[in-house]
Structure 1
Amino acid sequence: MADSLARLSALAEDPVVRILADAFSDAGFDLAVVGGPVRDALLGRATHDLDFTTDARPDDILRIVAPIATAHWDIGREFGTIGARVQGEQVEITTYRADAYDGVTRKPVVEFGDDIDGDLVRRDFSVNAMAFLVPQQRLVDPTGGVEDLIAGILRTPTDPQVSFGDDPLRMLRAARFSAQLGFGIEERTLAAMAELRPTLSIVSPERIQAELIRLLQSDDPVRGIRVLVDTGLIDEFLPEVTALKLEIDEHHHHKDVYEHSLTALEQAIALERVRHPDEPADAVLRLAVLLHDIGKPRTRRLEPGGAVSFHHHDVVGSRLARKRLQALRFDKESTDAVAKLIELHLRFFGYAEGAWTDSAVRRYVRDAGDQLERLHILTRADVTTRNKRKAARLASAYDDIEQRIAALREQEEIDAIRPELDGNDVQRILGIPPGREVGEAYRFLLDLRLDEGVIGPEAAEQRLRAWWAARD
């Protein structure tokens, strides 16, 4: 605990904190660092964005920060929040709040308060309901946040039924903080999450999407996903994940698809960290890995002799993922990437069964496009077999295909492969106007280039004419 207090004292010495603390003190107002920065300082975690709370009203906050900020904005003024840039850092300062909710929307009826304890009690979890008054350097913890930090527990400051009833998004935040901090969730809090899960209907898809992304970008998203599945919360916005828990028939056996998907996610994260150690967590990759087998429940067939098949689950899963991500308002680029990765995730296993020709490797690269590196990671992570010999064989095969891709890139700039004749050439040679037939001819020429390499414009023209004549 002594180390934790020392870290809080160090937080008070941060230049931004010190400048703001002195300015508010000189103006006769209290100021406290609040929420995540206090929690993270006590845990010894890196502190990022600084949030403050104060008894000053928004007009007073603006008056105080204007002389010491290089920029300030009042976009959150109606909620009592003023933003500013101080010493190059962006900060938010919010007047004490004592809000009330109508239970129909997430929008509170904003009421300003005069008491810091009242402000803290209205927050989501006790570990986020602590404040550090500056410059006094006094910790304010009215709901037992320090004890919960020590115990590694997430608990609402008030009755969880009331807290989640006020703002259902807090239930998703519980799963995210569990993943982010490695904390368990207190029993009453967990039970309330399961009971109140239908109230997520009042939360916008954009808000749900944002929490899902933050969870996926955490250190241990699998922990948070288990919380969402166990409470049923995920069924309100991504039911395909729970559906991975396929019923096991006593006469037909296959691996647990749900557990396989979570193991694949853990393996993908490990590979991501090895291959791209200095890059931020890749939420698109992690989402694709989590969802890569969601087509299996729709395609499962119980075959004679105890076998189970999932024919075309890659294509079906890609369509399901696209539809779900669109409903959650994911951007088109992310949606397309996840759908493509799911559709292609089985392609490699044909290579493992027998070495591909160079043309097959070129097609693999072409079809993956800018998702090739993510596909590398997904495909490797998809191998969760306990059979060490099989796992080693698949890993060796994938090492081989990556080496061949690298070699082909050096030889022929594989990423920039184009047909030897373009669309204008096709129209001139075949005497046809722009339209669908030009596209078909172009694809024929691209396949020819991928299959046979460079054959020269004259030979390409001869082959094009022969293809066109045979087509007629």
Structure 2
Amino acid sequence: MSRLSDTSSFTASLPPVVLEVGELFNAAGHDLSLVGGPVRDLFLGRVSPDLDFTTDADPDQTVAVIKGWADAYWEIGRAFGTIGLRRMGYQIEITTYRAEAYDPGSRNPTVAFGTSLEDDLLRRDFTINAMALRLPSLELVDPFGGVRDLHGGFLRTPGTPSSSFSDDPLRMMRAARFVSQLGVSVAPEVSEAMTDMAGRISIISAERVRDELVKLLRGRAPDAGMDLMVATGLADHVLPEVAALRLETDEHHRHKDVYQHSLTVLRQACELETGEDGPVPGPDVVLRLAALLHDIGKPATRKFEPGGAVTFRHHDTVGAKLAAKRLRALRFDNDTVKAVARLVELHMRFYGYGEAGWSDSAVRRYVSDAGPLLERLHRLTRSDVTTRNRRKAERLAFAYDDLEARISALAEQEELASIRPDLDGEQIMALLGISPGPVVGRAYRFLLEERMEHGPLSHAEAETMLRSWWREQPESKESTQ
């Protein structure tokens, strides 16, 4: 976190559009203040592309001021007192002073317009977001010590935490998100209220919970944000499978702490993401979800064997199903659900390579099964090594280096990323004299297996193999009777 200073050191970095809109409202006889995240970000040495303002003007009055000045405006949020607009490339929201609260069983806020800036700041989530910059005077309004808390790295609420979280239970997840994004810690009273009120998150729609979770995962320390969710009980309602990873270790400590291991894998996966031009640009939500969820099948598959050994057989396939079910419940899109579940399913595939070695056909299958997820799978598998045994870690790293080298070598020869049978569907039907149907699919899969096993075949070799296979099929024998 950058060192804080007085307002004169950062107001010069304000986008001109901020002062411009301030002058417009002032000329129209209305108060206007830059508020919330954009003010906080000024203290952190960054300018937000999205600018939030609050005003004593009602939505009709706001439209009257900005109409003709804004490049475009929209009124989707009018019911909440918000008018959105675009100007000079900036997304701007201007909201009438307000207060909002949730009824005990409601998923949506009820809105009442307020009458003062200070009252508006009181209803905001945290003190670091309850600061405002009056326009056009540039007076900093900080009635709840937001600068102090930002400097100290603490997350506090303007009023009592219980009142804040009762008004909007999603603020509890937002606290975990800010831990991830900003590196702050929650104040003890905030943590206590989150723990006492964790169950209130259940009234929030799955879509809003998902969006907040994604923001947390995209932060610079998602493991810390997730740890807060687990510690306070929020994860019991949002990601219970992660909370369940806190398995009791046996008295002889024959298996590692699965929960702490998963947080470490998440952190290490973040470190392996690439820049914008790389194969896995960070922050990559799919990779981070897979890292967090990769072992969620372990609680259901844990077994104590005779002699005290602990096993988790098939936890990868069980975990893949659990991950897909949970992500669907959180309303993630189908592509994300399938990608994360597939990575969880494949994350154990590499183990054993270092001891037994793989044939070229096994390497081809590894690449083919990963498909477009291969680069993420590389990073997930490497991140999954959290052993403190230096020799074991080095041995696994060397083995995976070798596997990646073999993949690269085979890719140059065979275009592994797009492995197909040596004959396509049309050629199969022409050669066998059959019509479209299930038999064509079986023949296609047979040729794909042969391609995996033996590498590229010539057209003549593929035809010979297909004819040999066809002679053993019941449909071939029926056609000759």
Report the TM-score, using the length of structure 1 for normalisation: 0.95
| 1:32 aligned counterpart, secondary structure | strand
Q: Contact between 2:301 and 2:313, CA under 8 Å: does it hold in 1?
A: yes
Q: Contact between 2:38 and 2:51, CA under 8 Å: does it hold in 1?
A: yes
Residues 126, 392 of structure 1: alpha-carbon distance in 2 compared, 3 angstrom cutoff: same
* Cα distance in 2 between the residues matched to 1:58 and 1:369: 51
For residue 239 of structure 2, what is the aligned residue in structure 1? 238
Aligned positions of 1:136-155 closer than 5 A: 136-155=137-156
Instruction: Tell me the CA shift for residue 277 of structure 1.
Output: 9.8
Of the structure 1 ranges 199-208 and 459-468, higher mean CA displacement relative to structure 2 is found in 459-468
* Cα distance in 2 between the residues matched to 1:462 and 1:220: 57
Residues 100, 341 of structure 1: alpha-carbon distance in 2 compared, 3 angstrom cutoff: closer
For residue 443 of structure 1, what is the aligned residue in structure 2? 445
* Cα distance in 1 between the residues matched to 2:287 and 2:49: 24
Q: Which runs of 5+ in 1 are unaligned?
A: none
Instruction: Tell me the CA shift for residue 4 of structure 1.
Output: 4.3
Q: Which runs of 5+ in 2 are unaligned?
A: 475-481
Instruction: Tell me the CA shift for residue 7 of structure 1.
Output: 4.1
* Cα distance in 2 between the residues matched to 1:145 and 1:467: 74
For residue 35 of structure 2, what is the aligned residue in structure 1? 34
* Cα distance in 1 between the residues matched to 2:329 and 2:149: 36
**Per-residue CA distance 1:12-52 (angstroms, 9 max, x = gap):** x4211121111111111111110001111123344331111
* Cα distance in 1 between the residues matched to 2:149 and 2:332: 35
Instruction: Tell me the CA shift for residue 204 of structure 1.
Output: 0.6
Percent identity, please. 57
* Cα distance in 2 between the residues matched to 1:451 and 1:419: 11
For residue 305 of structure 1, what is the aligned residue in structure 2? 307
For residue 113 of structure 1, what is the aligned residue in structure 2? 114
For residue 83 of structure 1, what is the aligned residue in structure 2? 84
* Cα distance in 2 between the residues matched to 1:138 and 1:278: 43
Report the TM-score, using the length of structure 2 for normalisation: 0.94
Residues 470, 110 of structure 1: alpha-carbon distance in 2 compared, 3 angstrom cutoff: same
Aligned positions of 1:413-452 closer than 5 A: 413-452=415-454
For residue 351 of structure 1, what is the aligned residue in structure 2? 353
Q: Contact between 1:99 and 1:111, CA under 8 Å: does it hold in 2?
A: yes
Residues 94, 7 of structure 1: alpha-carbon distance in 2 compared, 3 angstrom cutoff: farther
Q: Contact between 1:100 and 1:110, CA under 8 Å: does it hold in 2?
A: yes
**Per-residue CA distance 1:357-399 (angstroms, 9 max, x = gap):** 2222111111100101100100110111111111111111212
Of the structure 1 ranges 331-340 and 68-77, higher mean CA displacement relative to structure 2 is found in 68-77
* Cα distance in 1 between the residues matched to 2:41 and 2:102: 28
| 1:137 aligned counterpart, secondary structure | coil
Residues 335, 44 of structure 1: alpha-carbon distance in 2 compared, 3 angstrom cutoff: same
Instruction: Tell me the CA shift for residue 285 of structure 1.
Output: 0.6
Aligned residue type for 1:230: A
CA RMSD of aligned residues (A): 1.8
* Cα distance in 2 between the residues matched to 1:70 and 1:249: 64
For residue 479 of structure 2, what is the aligned residue in structure 1? none
Q: Contact between 1:362 and 1:414, CA under 8 Å: does it hold in 2?
A: yes
For residue 254 of structure 2, what is the aligned residue in structure 1? 253
Q: Contact between 1:29 and 1:55, CA under 8 Å: does it hold in 2?
A: yes
For residue 57 of structure 1, what is the aligned residue in structure 2? 58
Instruction: Tell me the CA shift for residue 321 of structure 1.
Output: 0.4
Number of equivalences: 471
Residues 198, 307 of structure 1: alpha-carbon distance in 2 compared, 3 angstrom cutoff: same
* Cα distance in 2 between the residues matched to 1:431 and 1:69: 67
Aligned positions of 1:71-470 closer than 5 A: 71-251=72-252, 253-273=254-274, 276=278, 279-470=281-472
| 1:110 aligned counterpart, secondary structure | strand
Of the structure 1 ranges 255-264 and 303-312, higher mean CA displacement relative to structure 2 is found in 303-312
For residue 477 of structure 2, what is the aligned residue in structure 1? none
